[in-house]
Structure 1
């Protein structure tokens, strides 16, 4: 290696094929083989969860390099004049250990991670004292401290509320539910506008609390949506409210959600060609107003596809109401009909921006003719969820097609992890990066859930392997063990990228939602459908809970029918027998007090 033309440092990931002396060979995600040189200074550690201590295993590297072990190796790469590469290990991260190959599949891994995340955001926003959302701030530094920015954005509060409600569902910790309920009330009191004449609810972009009086920000302040009401902001205003409603049955929250759904149907929905417009004018509430500029008469992935994962599936789970099932069906029918590129020799990626007549728009803003990897993956796992309650060949076909093709284009074949933005059309046989090859936290979530949901639903081992590799990369490089929380972005090699807004743990683009959604759904699918182990969840219905038919619906997600049953119900610690195992519903007793309900779900045997 002394004759190397040049060198650089890089990451390589894979499963150990063999280990001989000071060398070992890895089979990388793209099935290529890489030989790595150990040195007398190579260090090693084990993968660890948030809140866990550093675990050194430098002294046992030889024993750890068992065939099949998943490992990340970072160090110098020497490039010879002829093009050959020689990898040297500076440090190793062993994903598992003997008898514990994939620790993120163990019961409670994702529960503990969400517990740590909830504690981080609770502490960052409110310290150890009372929860007062008047002090909430959108921007949170990497250390967990607030910046001087004094705008409270509706969506980021709602995303935090979602995370706290989800943390209560998995842990039963009352403090998290208190945060979720106080946040929901704050949204109702400060961010909500009810139009009595139109019988609709819509949500301010946020409030500016920098002066002596709060100033309402009606239209969006974000550059892409400036002076418009974007559908996605109204959608994400509901994400925390709906998860909190699932837990508590709060009738005020339900009214706010239903009023916002009427807004979608009345002003965003296209009754002629289907789907939902991406923006409406803040004065006329029309999607066709000239003042909308590039957002005039447009539809996009977010305005159609984000309803389901953000709030609509959870609203249907909580109520069982057919109107929400029909709305889900409509959004997914629009996705399978209009988003895939069916032109001869077309792109493997979906189209994301459209004119009113569903003609693809490849000239809009930053999107142009570019693909967001995470959106393609998100479509796959949400189609799979929907197919569990309404099977359609079209849903299965698109989900499988995207799951089959995305690894070739969106996954890093050497290092693991998933990329961000690529050109939709190939040039010289390659879909080029748009700006960079960095990896963001939410794209990793989409990859993990895409393959985990599909593995749990189908039992396909190839999907499970993709889920395991994506989970390993995320848990190895995105968890911030020094300050808490999760990094926004890492370099392709897994090194945190702490520049500009990407150094923040809270911003317009990052709150608690994606991280909490990952933890919640990963625990649900891993335990119930992959490991086939029971799962406990907590609910806290109010005395005035507004659940249809007086039934608490505790299905954790749209799971494949017949795979999971409700096994046990405890109300305030005492057994309760008025429940339907197959429907996963609990008949609530009459009570003037709030109830604490713990349920156990278990996989069906056989």
Structure 2
């Protein structure tokens, strides 16, 4: 910090211990980007170990002198004084010993997902069993209480369904699956429209259930997309049902997904130049109608790339269908061709119909969403496991290596939100577009991107970035008082609790990103990074999966890295499975089956 400052302020520093003098009570640190910093430690400095959601606080104050050993990664919260002196007030230790991280314990992320599922189940439905989605509300206050906002948005219900289905897969808790299945039924009954003339399915923005009267909201009510059918709302309507389909194989879900895919291909797809338009007019279902305004004839990251993480990779995992791999390949080929910008470390995110960059759209202009860059790197590595291409791997690694310097907070930890893509002459890093706050979903993208990059390449720098991102998220985003995770924190990790960012449920937040992080951090951590086994639960219906094959691969993983070791059906050992393909041949039955699939990593990196 500059010695010219003439005021005090509190801040957080993330760093690695380089030395500690107990007689002088002076702690020396090195930040993520290698800058030295000295902190004074006093008798008033307290300390704790990192704790999980729902876990007890563990005081470490009495052991501070023994814990401050070289190489240890920690957070220091304190006060900066004029002249640059930094006085430590609170220390957060991330593990018991240097190089150890509590979140790398085998059950950490699964336990966090269990807590998240319990929070959202309690907030939305209380103790009702079975749950009643008539009680569901999009808007949830900080503690999970419902607001007086009466709109039930399709996408937020779908995101809740995703989280509950994922929680079942990791925990086997039947209650979570029940919440997911009833949510899927509710979506089908209230939010789905089957257009038999066009042979497509599309999804309402939501319904207003005010005063006991149900009013369908056909077009989007969200400002950027008002009075149009945005692709991303149709995309995220599938996120939950698709994850539920992976568990049960419900053929009705498969029909809905296929109908929505026909919608994408018939009305959003560009048959001439490829890709998917971001919006269509609700009357003519045209992406080129003048009523769309600034969304007319536009493509963007969400309409092209978000198919993959939201539902398409999971759909391919569940079906093995070549159609879905082909669609994935088209989208990722377009991303590698059109998204990179030779003049910026950030990708382009918005385009005209001819793929020329659109740098004048709405709020985005020539700005970068940091999390979208990380999301592209993460999903390129997943796609590389499905149909390997050097272009996928090369762009993913390029993004992974360039992003920390321009998108992360190398002094405090964590990842920023929206920054200016153009770096002015003389500037070292991009400028913040509006603020330096950090959103929960962008931390997720960083953690998963660097975990999968580390797991595929063995690169220690990627592993370091994954650990630093996981450290900040687990230290500052978990709400130990009310449950769930915070939407945004300030740069120093303090929760930002104003406006819609104070909420635990909103148009932008349901259970999806936090639960996806828990699910896939478990998968990548155990199977790719730490050589730990993983058991998943499934519950196929008697009419589930038309070929009667249950595919249990938890994600798109590098070929030859994971093996299906054993299977149980209804609590008994079952031998009809392929350990390499990770498939289970299901027996004919008239009842639902409970299938446990035990996966083990292979040491052939």
The alignment's TM-score, normalised by the length of structure 2, stands at 0.98
The one-character-per-residue Cα deviations of 1:497-538 (angstroms, maximum 9, x if unpaired) are 000000000000001000011000000000011011110000
Q: Distance in 2 between matches of 1:434 and 1:79?
A: 29
Q: Distance in 2 between matches of 1:317 and 1:3?
A: 57
Which consecutive unaligned segments of at least 5 residues does structure 1 have?
Answer: none
Aligned to 2:355: 358
Aligned to 1:560: 558
The one-character-per-residue Cα deviations of 1:230-255 (angstroms, maximum 9, x if unpaired) are 00000000000000000000011110
- 1:77/1:99 Cα in 2 relative to 1: closer, same or farther (>3 Å)? closer
Q: Distance in 2 between matches of 1:509 and 1:246?
A: 25
Asked if 1:59 is matched to 2:62, the reply is yes
- 1:241/1:4 Cα in 2 relative to 1: closer, same or farther (>3 Å)? closer
Asked if 1:576 is matched to 2:574, the reply is yes
Partner of 1:147: helix, strand, or coil? coil
The one-character-per-residue Cα deviations of 1:267-296 (angstroms, maximum 9, x if unpaired) are 000000000000001110000011001100
Q: Distance in 2 between matches of 1:304 and 1:354?
A: 10
Partner of 2:8: helix, strand, or coil? strand
Asked if 1:524 is matched to 2:527, the reply is no
Aligned to 2:50: 47
* Superposed structure 1 runs of 4+ greater than 3 Å apart: 1-4
Equivalent runs, 1:223-238 vs 2, <5 Å: 223-238=223-238
Partner of 1:277: helix, strand, or coil? coil
| Matched residues, number | 598
Aligned to 2:410: 413
Asked if 1:464 is matched to 2:463, the reply is yes
Q: Distance in 1 between matches of 2:432 and 2:48?
A: 32
Partner of 1:395: helix, strand, or coil? helix
Partner of 2:600: helix, strand, or coil? strand
Which consecutive unaligned segments of at least 5 residues does structure 2 have?
Answer: none
- Contact 1:78 1:86 (8 Å CA) reproduced: yes
Aligned to 1:110: 109
- Contact 1:165 1:180 (8 Å CA) reproduced: yes
Q: Distance in 1 between matches of 2:368 and 2:411?
A: 21
The alignment's TM-score, normalised by the length of structure 1, stands at 0.97
Task: Give the one of 11, 24, 29 matched to 1:26.
Answer: 29
The one-character-per-residue Cα deviations of 1:418-437 (angstroms, maximum 9, x if unpaired) are 00000000113231000000
The one-character-per-residue Cα deviations of 1:314-341 (angstroms, maximum 9, x if unpaired) are 0000000000000000010111111111
Equivalent runs, 1:112-511 vs 2, <5 Å: 112-130=111-129, 131-342=131-342, 346-427=343-424, 428-429=426-427, 430-511=429-510
- Contact 1:169 1:538 (8 Å CA) reproduced: yes
- Contact 1:319 1:548 (8 Å CA) reproduced: no
Q: C-alpha displacement at 1:118, in angstroms?
A: 0.2
Partner of 1:79: helix, strand, or coil? coil
Q: C-alpha displacement at 1:25, in angstroms?
A: 1.0
- 1:4/1:376 Cα in 2 relative to 1: closer, same or farther (>3 Å)? closer
Partner of 1:381: helix, strand, or coil? helix
Q: C-alpha displacement at 1:2, in angstroms?
A: 12
Q: C-alpha displacement at 1:458, in angstroms?
A: 1.3
Partner of 2:211: helix, strand, or coil? coil
Q: Distance in 2 between matches of 1:605 and 1:369?
A: 44
Aligned to 1:11: 12
Q: Distance in 1 between matches of 2:6 and 2:212?
A: 64
Q: C-alpha displacement at 1:548, in angstroms?
A: 4.4
Q: C-alpha displacement at 1:41, in angstroms?
A: 0.6
Q: CA RMSD in A?
A: 1.3
- 1:577/1:415 Cα in 2 relative to 1: closer, same or farther (>3 Å)? same
Q: Distance in 2 between matches of 1:67 and 1:99?
A: 8
The one-character-per-residue Cα deviations of 1:145-200 (angstroms, maximum 9, x if unpaired) are 00000000000000000000000000000000000000000000000000111110
Q: C-alpha displacement at 1:6, in angstroms?
A: 2.0
Q: C-alpha displacement at 1:70, in angstroms?
A: 1.0
Q: Distance in 2 between matches of 1:212 and 1:560?
A: 51
